[in-house]
Amino acid sequence: MEYAENILGTIGNTPLVKMNKLTAEIDALVLAKYETFNPGNSAKDRMAVKMIEEAEASGLLQPGGTIIEGTSGNTGMGLALVAIIKGYKMICVLSDKQSKEKMDILRAVGSEVVVCPTDVAPEDPRSYYSTSKRLAEETPNSWYVNQYDNPANTQAHYESTGPEIWKQTDGKVTHFVVGVGTGGTISGVAKYLKEQNPNIKIWGIDTYGSVFKKYHETGIFDENEIYSYVTEGIGEDILPKNVDFSLIDGFTKVTDKDAAVYTRRLAKEEGMFLGNSAGAAVKGLLQLKEHFTKDDVVVVLFHDHGSRYVGKMFNDEWMKKMGYIE
């Protein structure tokens, strides 16, 4: 018999899938690291397990404890699954721009959901950063995960996602392209791949309204770069410790409209029903096309599943209201 001991045993070893139509104008072989095959339907399951295991090992998380995190939904989903299996209580703190589906899904897997306003500064007491920290201080026997600065986030991708990509491409990967939020995915994968072959190029996908690209290019944290945007899961108004800028070769920014349009195109043209940051990633990849040549093997990582966006990017009325389609 071949079975997993529990659902956590199904995390990782996701497939790599060739892109056939949407990236046809790119000469290189483009392969999608398809993270929705994880049980929580996103790459975040990997780091959720790792962060909890590290917190248990260091004594920060005690039996029967409460896990608290500010999360755009996917990390919350991963943490909630681990919490169920290991017997912890889970509280997710979200900003109100996150889709209703994400909130409903978190509640479905037993998490308490606290919603905070999006358009306030991170240091504002109402922000989801401040609220999660306050809840952690007020709740007895609780642990605040802090995926932005928690090194186990990057470590999970260094230990699993990076080696999988290396093995699946038989060491032939030349470029890795991925959306950047906390930075765990890009930094962990980049560290592993560059250790195997320092010539591998790492590209981050950023949003308009986020600080990453400008900071990477100039070393300046420019507050003028910060404004609210629609794309979910990538871009930040802070510099998380998990973004290792020294491992990243460059960033490209994708507009909210392009991210939404390309999320729909992935579903219709590739049969890849994926989340909003996957649309941003594939559009970013196209923006970078002059960097790729015929013999290159470009891996693009798709973080999460389309079901979380049926009320938004996959809804024609929403797309019209946003002015993204006629």
Query: For binding to ligand PMP (CB under 6 A), which residues are involved?
Result: 72, 74, 179-186, 232-234, 275, 277, 303-304
Say how far residue 35 (Cα) sits from the centre of its chain.
10
Q: How far is the CB of 311 from ligand PMP (least distance, A)?
A: 15
Closer CB to ligand PMP, residue 51 or residue 297?
A: 51
Closer CB to ligand PMP, residue 72 or residue 142?
A: 72
Q: How far is the CB of 151 from ligand PMP (least distance, A)?
A: 13
Say if CB 311 and CB 317 are below 8 A apart.
no
Going by C-beta distance under 8 Å and a sequence separation of 6 or more, which residues neighbour residue 201? 174, 175, 176, 249, 291
In the numeric block, which tokens belong to residue 145?
């995960």
Q: How far is the CB of 256 from ligand PMP (least distance, A)?
A: 14
Residue type, 233: G
Say if CB 40 and CB 77 are below 8 A apart.
yes
Closer CB to ligand PMP, residue 28 or residue 205?
A: 205
Say if CB 276 and CB 231 are below 8 A apart.
yes
Closer CB to ligand PMP, residue 12 or residue 179?
A: 179
In the numeric block, which tokens belong to residue 180?
């950047």
Q: How far is the CB of 243 from ligand PMP (least distance, A)?
A: 7
Closer CB to ligand PMP, residue 65 or residue 280?
A: 280
Q: How far is the CB of 319 from ligand PMP (least distance, A)?
A: 18
Q: How far is the CB of 62 from ligand PMP (least distance, A)?
A: 26
Query: How many helices (H) and strands (E) in the chain?
Result: 11, 10
Alpha carbons 124 and 45: distance in angstroms, whole number: 29
Q: How far is the CB of 110 from ligand PMP (least distance, A)?
A: 20
Active site residue 44: yes
Closer CB to ligand PMP, residue 65 or residue 177?
A: 177
Say if CB 179 and CB 103 are below 8 A apart.
no
In the numeric block, which tokens belong to residue 86?
């290991």
Q: In a 3-state reduction of DSSP, which class is residue 34?
A: strand
Alpha carbons 156 and 78: distance in angstroms, whole number: 13
Closer CB to ligand PMP, residue 49 or residue 65?
A: 49
Which residue lies nearest ligand PMP, judged by its C-beta?
Answer: 233
- List phi, psi (to 5°) of 94: -120, 155
Going by C-beta distance under 8 Å and a sequence separation of 6 or more, which residues neighbour residue 202? 175, 176, 186, 189, 190, 193, 194, 247, 248, 249
DSSP states of 123-159: TSTTSHHHHHHHHHHHSTTEEE--TTT-HHHHHHIII
CB-count burial class (<10 Å; 0-12, 13-18, 19+) for 158: buried
Choice among 33, 44, 213, 312 that is catalytic: 44
Is residue 32 within a helix (H) or strand (E), and if so which, with residue range?
A: strand 29-34
Residues identified as active-site: 44
